[in-house]
Structure 1
Amino acid sequence: MTLRPIRTKREHQAALKEIEALWEAPSGSPEADRLEVLTLLVEAYEREHYPIEAPDPIDFLQHVMESRAITRKDLEPYIGSRARVAEVMNRVRPLTLDMIRRLASGLNLPADVLIRGYELKRAA
């Protein structure tokens, strides 16, 4: 296969198959160089054809809480009172810019994920 941009599903599948065959190539070898270039081409194709959307901010926070064993109480320094944390996590109140800044710096979270818009629950 000549190295060139991947434009079709068939070319994508062929590149993936070749990557698998080259996976154990010794570092510094021509095969390893080919593997590296093929990987970059596949990544470019997949970025364009199979984009991954950023997660919902609240779902993301819930995932962070689970993976780091963080409780809602642990979020109080970043979001506010216990009631405020509950409102945010229950989607009654949105994250404010100040909350996002504190969460991003205090918990080392990507602000660009937290700043995305999300649906709030409507008042009954």
Structure 2
Amino acid sequence: MTSATLAKKLKPLESPVDNELLRWLYLHLPPRPIKGRKMHHGYSEAVRILMRESGGLDAQNRTAVGQYLSAVIPFIEAYEKKAFPIGLATPEEVLGFLMEQHELSQYDLAKELGGQPVVSQILRGKRRLTREHIERLSKRFGVAPATFYPASTTI
């Protein structure tokens, strides 16, 4: 079957997109399964921008953004579930994750934690975060101090 034949058979099912913003989003960032980190980053960034900026849009474009997000977010969630399985994370893993998300090196945290060797030891699990470290890190990353305390396995 040729693509022209297939298009002819699908034509009666067509639902025209009457919103220019929605048409642009579907053309340039079509909802589809996410296959890698770069693609995940791109779609996640698009979602952040759309959510941040949609408040300033008229009602028709806000509706279009909502439709697009409802089509894209399930693909982002599916990728994250596979790529970042949820489990109990150690304080060191949490710190490493936050460093990666903020594109920070060990040297970027050296001043707050007492030097690059200390950061390295913490990330390798050779040294524990102190209360002072946790206070500084929670302020830097804008998270609750509890984020850096070991998770309890008991309920």
Question: What's the TM-score, normalizing by structure 1?
Answer: 0.48
Please identify which structure carries the higher helix content: 2
